[in-house]
Amino acid sequence: MTILKKTTALSTLALALAACGDDVAEDPVVGSEMADVETAATAEYDPMTRDYALSDDAQTRRDAFDADAFRSEYDGYRDEVAAEQIANADEAATAADMSEDERSEMEAASQERDADTNMRRRQNMTWGYLDRNDDDQLSVAEYAIWAIPLDPQHEALNDQGEPELKAETINKAADSFFYYDTDGDTYLDRREFTSARRGENFDS
């Protein structure tokens, strides 16, 4: 009887210890900057590698897309990026009063950029980096900073001999944007962009 009690007690103790060892880390909140960075690090996706079947509503919004306005906005953002300097992650940048989002952004900003364009590598493009006008949503042009390949040198040349995006490239970026614009407001919120970043497939 004593042996049985000891065995039961040991079994209970072993189960309790095993349960204590199961520390489950909480997932970052979907739509937070931290979640965006983690998604980029683990499941980066190239949206230019597939075709997109748009719903009737999405196709209607896609048909209203203004490619000329897009070019103007996108080129302006690319010029901004080219003028930016690589941020240095020093001790001040990791001060105790910084949020996780701020630390993640500073870490991403300190990574090596593309030598020709000064663009961040796709996996280091955080929400804050893409949301150029700080309105907490991405326009087609802001989304395209992430979606379109970094180096446009393989694209067509304009009248001034400068590289510009081919219509084919713009169309592919627009198709993917409207595919992931699931609420139909012609912008991507953080959740929709996380879906794009993961390459989620909504085709039935």
In tens, the pLDDT along 8-48 reads 444 444 444 444 444 444 444 444 555 444 444 445 789 99
Residue 49 lies in a domain: no
| Of residues 3 and 61, more confidently modeled | 61
Give counts: helices (H), strands (E), the chain: 9, 2
| Of residues 61 and 203, more confidently modeled | 61
Residue 12 lies in a domain: no
| Of residues 184 and 152, more confidently modeled | 184
Band (pLDDT 50/70/90 cuts) for residue 89 is: very low
Q: What share of the chain in percent tops pLDDT 70?
A: 66
pLDDT of residue 146: 94
pLDDT of residue 18: 46
Residue 94 lies in a domain: no
Residue span of the structural domain in which 71 resides = 65-79+102-203
Q: Residue 122 in contact with residue 40, Cβ under 8 Å?
A: yes
How many domains does the chain fold into?
1
Of 11-25, 35-49, 71-85, 116-130, which gets the smallest average pLDDT?
11-25
Of 185, 204, 193, 186, whose CA–CA distance to 53 is shortest? 204
* Alpha carbons 132 and 145: distance in angstroms, whole number: 10
Residue 130 lies in a domain: yes
Asked if the model's pLDDT at residue 171 lies above 60, the reply is: yes
Q: Residue 130 in contact with residue 143, Cβ under 8 Å?
A: yes
Residue 167 lies in a domain: yes
Residue 146 lies in a domain: yes
